[in-house]
Homo-oligomer: A and B are copies of this chain.
C-alpha cells in the first residue's frame, strides 16, 4: 500500500493537540492481580477517558485539525459504539456539527450517549444498506469531513498517545516494561500504541488481542497480508468484530507487533468479572481483551512487568453484574 504512515513525531504532535481536552488516564497496579500472575501488571484506564473509551483521542486529533473554514460543514462518522461518542464529543468541543450513521437497532444507551454530545443521528438498515456509502454520500452532499474509525493517519496517531503516556509514566516511575497488551478490532489503537512503544521503549513486546473468530489481525500477521477472520456467532466483545485490520493499522502492526493473540468469549467474561470484583473496575467486554490474555495465561507474564490497556467501559451494567454472578438470575 502507498498511504502515508504516521511516525513517532505524529504521535507526539497528537499528544500536544489533545492535551488541553483529553484525560491523561491513570496507570494503576493491584497487589492481588500481581500476586495471582506472579508479575507486575499495570492497567491503563482508558475506561476513565472522556466518553468512556479511548476513541475520544483519535477523534479529537482528527477533528481539531479541520481547517476553520471547513468546520461549519461538519463531520460524518459511521459507528454504533464508542467511536460515535468519541466523534460526537470531540466535534462538540470545536462547535462542529456531527452526523453519525447508526444502525436502526442500535441499543438505546448508545443512541442516547451519542445524542447527549449534541450529534445528529441518521439510521440505516443493517441488512439492506451500505453504511459507508451512506456516510460518503452525506460527506459529498455537505462537504463534511469523514472520520473513519481506524483506517486513518490521524486516528491512529491519536490512539497512539496512549502508548506515549505509558512510556512516559513508566520512565517516571523507573520501571522497565517487558510488554504491552491491547485489544484489537480494526487495529487503530494497538497499532498506534505499538508505534509509540517501539520508538520510546525499543525491545518491549507488543501484543494485539482479539476475540476468537474475529482474529483478523492474528491471521493477517501470519499471512503477511490483510486477510479476513471467519466471523460467525457474534462475540461478547461487540466492539472488536471488524473482520479485517485497516491498511494503516496493519502496515504498522506488521512492523511493530511481536505477538498477535486471540481469547475466547468465556475468557473475556471471566476478565469482566475479575475486573469488577477484584479490581473494582467497570470494563466492557471488548476493553478487557488484554487483561483476559494475561488472566487466561495466553500471554505468559510470570516474572515480567506488563501493561494491559483497558480500552472502554460503555456497557450495560447488568451485563457486568451477570458476568460476576452467572448463576444468579437477573
- A48 interface residue per 8 A CB criterion: yes
User: Which residues of A, 311-330, contact B by the 8 Å Cβ criterion?
Assistant: 313, 317-318, 320-321, 324-325, 328, 330
A317 contact from B26, B50, B324, Cβ within 8 A: B324
Decide: A280 and B282 in contact? CB cutoff 8 A: yes
Q: Bound state CA distance, A277 and B25, in angstroms?
A: 18
- Interface centre among A282, A320, A328, by most B CB within 10 Å? A282
Residues of the B chain whose Cβ atoms lie less than 8 Å from the Cβ of A282: 276, 280-282
A318 contact from B23, B47, B48, B321, Cβ within 8 A: B321
Decide: B325 and A276 in contact? CB cutoff 8 A: no
Residues of the B chain whose Cβ atoms lie less than 8 Å from the Cβ of A30: 23, 48, 50
- A223 interface residue per 8 A CB criterion: no
Decide: A280 and B52 in contact? CB cutoff 8 A: yes
Decide: A48 and B280 in contact? CB cutoff 8 A: yes
- A108 interface residue per 8 A CB criterion: no
- A129 interface residue per 8 A CB criterion: no
User: Which residues of A, 278-315, contact B by the 8 Å Cβ criterion?
Assistant: 279-282, 313
- A69 interface residue per 8 A CB criterion: no
- A29 interface residue per 8 A CB criterion: yes
Residues of the B chain whose Cβ atoms lie less than 8 Å from the Cβ of A48: 28, 30, 279-281
Closest to A273 in B: B317
Residues of the B chain whose Cβ atoms lie less than 8 Å from the Cβ of A279: 48
Interface size for chain A: under 10, 10 to 19, 20 to 34, or 35 or more residues? Answer: 20 to 34
Residues of the B chain whose Cβ atoms lie less than 8 Å from the Cβ of A45: 26
Q: Bound state CA distance, A89 and B32, in angstroms?
A: 10
- A127 interface residue per 8 A CB criterion: no
Q: Could you tell me the distance in whole angstroms from the C-beta of A279 to the nearest C-beta in chain B?
A: 8
Decide: B23 and A26 in contact? CB cutoff 8 A: no
- A67 interface residue per 8 A CB criterion: no
A320 contact from B28, B47, B281, B317, Cβ within 8 A: B317
Decide: A328 and B320 in contact? CB cutoff 8 A: no
Closest to A279 in B: B48
Closest to A93 in B: B31
Decide: A325 and B317 in contact? CB cutoff 8 A: yes
Given contact pairs A31-B89, A48-B281, a sample of 16 additional A-B residue pairs in the complex whose CB atoms are under 8 Å apart:
A23-B28, A23-B29, A25-B28, A26-B26, A26-B28, A26-B45, A28-B48, A47-B280, A48-B280, A52-B280, A276-B282, A280-B282, A281-B282, A282-B282, A317-B320, A317-B325
The 10 A-B pairs at the shortest CB distance, nearest first, are namely A26-B26, A280-B313, A321-B321, A317-B324, A280-B282, A317-B321, A47-B280, A31-B50, A318-B321, A52-B280
Q: List 17 interface pairs A-B (beta carbons < 8 Å), by A numbering.
A: A23-B28, A23-B30, A25-B28, A26-B28, A26-B45, A30-B48, A47-B280, A48-B279, A276-B282, A281-B282, A317-B320, A317-B321, A317-B325, A318-B321, A318-B325, A320-B321, A330-B330
